[in-house]
Structure 1
């Protein structure tokens, strides 16, 4: 019981401190888990082993972040995305709704490979310049991508469906065939949600000629932009450079989607070639790397620190104790609706536990309890799978969450506060759709 209580306190404290910005996330993810582990009676040798194992799991994503951020930052400043942005601006004009719907389409297509990081790395760098030009908040870009990924994650090669298949000992393709009607309905839901977010942003004053709050923010930043316009223009690369950068980026994305090469290796290769070709002068190469060092190093530090949290959470067995407690607190009279309850609260629970502990730790326990009330394992799995997917972008200790923050230039506090309510609401709507379609039954 001590482990469970301490685990819940640790997670709630970390989320509270992140939202209140009481300290840097790096310090939060290191100090709080260590203190909690000590409270539970673990010595420093054990805690060190937990830390080592946890950091090992986040290291590849931290390296990926360093090289991908610098790569896409350089691609942006040399003008690779300018034709796309200018084309979309011409086509959309001041139609903010069209831009947000296009974001939903791009994110949906980009997530066909089922890789969260690749979807973020493709969609955000391409769309963020347009969002800035039209004065649309970057968190809107994040929440639309989060919604699209949540629906597309129902593909058989997506991580959550594969994990459910393992737990049920079922064929993953057969499981996906059951979910296809929900996925089709979900795509339309995402596009509708994207349009809705566009309407909200337009009411805030977003557009080519902003009004209200967006206009005031634009006026405040105008002088700063004027000072940097000349320097930014000097970094643009036209002619054959543009074609080289386009082919290089396509090759990097191709490696992400169609090969088994490590994600960070693809960006290491891409960044090296981009620097050498676009900036032959070694001093200029060092200057461009230094210019993006803040963004490229800050978040990886947080990712490595979050490995301490994950290592303590799993190594101390807090996760197992928390999962048992969550299942045990459901009152008996709600037993027949246990799967619906788990589906409704899947987002906050998923935010606390993370993907693998949720499916491999909590789901088997929930299935066992549900069977006592006549709920089939498939029914329980479907309900918990549909809801949990929408927590994928707002899990405060997930690497992709910080990757999204870094690419979009938003803080973890902004991301969680803005995106969580919307994504939780979408998860409940998806659960209702699953009930209507007969995928989840009462």
Structure 2
């Protein structure tokens, strides 16, 4: 069995083992398992069945992550994207007044478009066109972004109406659970202990149990997941009537599909570049051979997710936690998918791990991700400012996509008006123009 896995995933060539890969997959699961709770809660605001959404979220995550692991052979997990699910629920359905079936149709159309764009190498062309300086900046921005996610999840940093952010309340147990886990994980890394991140999560969870923040479930740990019948296949329903086709060809549908396309593309691109750069698979320009297969896995995941009954699928930045713990191949993603499959039947057990216990993993990974900042030439304003905007916009806007938008846009503008337009490829100019269109459409929507 080990030989078969070694041959398929090239474990020896990537200097890893089955144990390391599966441990990394388990860590990724723990750092992103919150999606099993959050996604159903958000989408159920539209009237969708919450129980069905739990099952669908898990199934879509399993399928999309397996596609990434088996097809692209990358240690990256995929699931319904945060932000995209909020846009689905609060903007498209509750804001514009469309049905959740209509919103699912938009996601389905987006997935089909992505498959076509991937087939004709258009998405791959966009990824390769991103300037090297931004490819060096993207991992740094992601590092700060996931550190913020970890600090927020632990309550170390909290919202403030006056200063936007402030230090959290140190009387809260979650703060101390996270800080203990952070110190333990850092010490284990310093001592070169294998599985440092997983050990840190386990010890933090046990500490949380001692403090009374983690309680054992009163019900059975094993149960049959809810049926997805109430939401399965509803994405195709609007296509079965003339009224539905009128909605599909409306301006609102165009805006909705464009937004889904835009955010999903650059969330996925940012995550792929950021994570793959830490594995060592990327060349000097930041490109890697599995780009097309990775983007196809994303497109297939989104399309299947829409049919199952959930919002847009995207690559998860939390995958970096698995890479930091030794994950190097698609076997890591397969391990994550397997854990989500178990969670379908053992949800009470897997959901014991509190956010505070996974926060140290995200903070430590954030540390590892920022190392590429030394490659950036900040003395050249036409490169330094775009890189800086890419880095700061990711955590400050809570979006990988927005960081890439303002990084690319500023890169094209500064190079053009500084007499260095020959350093910008035609693709970058085209993509930057599309960014401007997106910003204008957003502004028009806000004005309405």
TM-score over 0.5 for the alignment? no
Larger helix percent: 1
Shorter-chain TM-score range: under 0.3
- State the structure with bigger RCO (CA 8 A, min sep 6), 1 or 2: 2
Normalization by structure 2: what TM-score?
0.24
Normalization by structure 1: what TM-score?
0.24
